[in-house]
Structures are given as structure tokens and as C-alpha cells.
Amino acid sequence: MSLPMLAISAFIIGLSGAMMPGPVLTYVVDGSLRKGFAAGPLVITGHMFLELLLVILLLTGMSSLFASELFTAVVGIIGGLMLILMALNMLRSSLKKEISFENSLDKKEGVTGFILPGALLSIANPYWILWWATIGITYLANAYQRGLIGTGAFFVGHISADYVWYSFIAFIVSRGRKLISDSIYRKLVVFFALILLYFAGTFIVDGVLYFWVD
């Protein structure tokens, strides 16, 4: 397989994963309502740094750790608790009317507001780890047969899918900001917070069941 085809196939496979609903999508939508289009690329930049670190770890022999059901269960519980904290903060801010479009335009958010959560939301998702422990590691192993150039082509193609999809979502959502009042926005934040709580509950239950069954 040529390097361009390797990158294209990685893009297609990555896009299929990026389009699945999850905590990152929820946060991108919420951030795009608050800050506009830039929220999407910023969140995925945090996601990109985490995936780059993961690829390095997998190539240095830690694939068995990420394939461990115990590791996935522990990450699910810890990640679920992290999502609960984020969701509760969103609920508190909305119910106390501490957030509005006007205030959000005056407040700059960068590393701590979007990039860092982009990484944290990814690692909090055990299904993301499961994807890399199965599909990801298989594809990465094949790409590594072409050396670092092949690995680079795979990673660029894969992460480009995330940037394209979530930038598209951020663009669509940010265009609708003018049609949404502060009252509707706060209700949407509550809705997104409840979605995060749903994911948190799913991650924690799956993690606890692993120890319960064993």
C-alpha cells in the first residue's frame, strides 16, 4: 500500500470512529455554542496530543497494558468520575445563570478551556482505549512496517479525520448561535451535562461489573 493510500485509509477508518457520539462530541457542541468555531479544533488539538502520546507508548511496547481488561475497567471508573465532575460544573453554572453568550464572548479559553479537556475527555472514555487496543494497534502495526514514514502517514490520516469532522460540527453549531437565546443556551448546557452523566454512568457501571463478575 502506498503512503497516500495508507493515509487515506487511515482517514476513512478514523472518520468512522470520530462520527460516533461520545463525550468529545458533547463538549465540542457545547464549546461551539459558547465560543464559536474555534472550540472544535482546540478540543481536537488536545485529543491529538493524547493520541500522539498513545502511539508512542504503543510503539515502545505498552500495547499489552492497553489491551488489558483490568486497565480498561479502571480507566472507565476514573474517567466516569471525571465526567461527573465536569457535568456537575456545567449544571451548576447553568442553574445559577453564571453563563451567557455575552459573558462567553468576553472570556478567552484556550489550553485549560478546550485543549486540556480534549485530552481528558478522550482518556476518560474506555471505548477509545478499546478501539486503540484492537483496531488501532492492528493498523498501527501494519503502518509501522513502512517505518516512521508509514507511521506518520497513518497518524496524519487518522487525526485529520477528527479535525475534519469536529471542525464541521463546530462550524454548523457556531452558525446557529445567533438563533439561540441565553435561556435556550442554558437549557442546552443542562442537556449536554445530562448526556455526560449518561456516559459517566455507563463507563462506571462497565468498570464496576468487571470487578463484580470477577
* pLDDT 10s digits, 28-75: 888 888 788 888 999 999 999 999 998 888 888 776 766 677 877 887
The HSE-up count of residue 138 (CA atoms within 13 Å, CB side) is 5
Q: Which of 175, 213, 159 is nearest to 11 (CA)?
A: 159
Res 180: pLDDT: 63
pTM of the shown model: 0.74
Spatial separation of the C-alpha atoms in residues 41 and 170, rounded to whole Å: 8
pLDDT digits (tens, 9 = 90+) for 87-100: 887 788 777 765 55
Q: What is the pLDDT of residues 126-180, one digit of tens each?
A: 778 777 877 787 788 778 888 889 889 999 999 999 999 899 888 888 887 666 6
State residue 156's pLDDT score: 93
